[in-house]
Copies of this chain bind each other. A is one copy, B any other.
């Protein structure tokens, strides 16, 4: 039986080598679980990533498009943001959804928690399903030059499965909501079965 509470790595030294308002990087001299000397760079995130799958009454998904600097290319995604330290992820989800799309969620439901890159970073993500949507004014941050697109759930899922949507939060969120839609008739606490039926048209 493995002792899952035991850290098999030994840290010999650690120093901070980089920091900005969003991330910090710590360099460690270590001994591996086998006892060999090595190094480990740990990227620490100051915010929790938050993503929202917004589904309207017609079973459509609102997507946002933006240039992603690290990838050097454009990306279509579900609305996303970062929860400030101490900010509950659900509060961040409502805020980012409103800022990026103008949409207000009558119903917001947490659906998944993810560790995004656990070999190198401590970044975690919390994903939500937003339904019962109403439209108000949008107010994107000035770092964001956002485009908008509303497509059927079936089209969005197909884009995730065929490599047109590749953002991890979006792909995992859309797949999870698809699973929720397919199991809705047997899952009283989940998605409204009538909405689920509309969403699954064309799949």
Contact = CB atoms under 8 A, between A and B. Distances in A.
Interface stretch (A84-92, A129-137, A176-184): A176-184
A17 B16 CA distance: 11
Contacts of A4: 65, 74
Interface string A111-144: 0111111111111110000000000000000111
Contact of A179 (B17, B68, B175): B175
A69 B43 contact: no
Interface stretch (A32-40, A53-61, A95-103, A191-199): A32-40
A183 B202 CA distance: 12
Contacts of A33: 67, 142-145
Nearest to A186: B203
Copy total for this chain: 2
A57 B120 CA distance: 34
Contacts of A80: 119
A67 B7 contact: yes
B8 A23 contact: no
A13 interface: no
A25 B183 CA distance: 43
Nearest to A5: B74
A109 B17 CA distance: 40
A189 interface: no
A121 B23 CA distance: 11
Nearest to A39: B20
B18 A27 contact: yes
A7 B72 contact: yes
Interface in A141-170: 142-145, 147, 160-161, 163, 166-168
A172 to B, nearest CB: 5
Contact of A32 (B30, B74, B143, B166): B143
List the 9 shortest-distance A-B pairs measured between CB atoms, nearest first: A34-B142, A33-B145, A175-B175, A4-B74, A2-B147, A68-B118, A114-B168, A70-B122, A172-B172
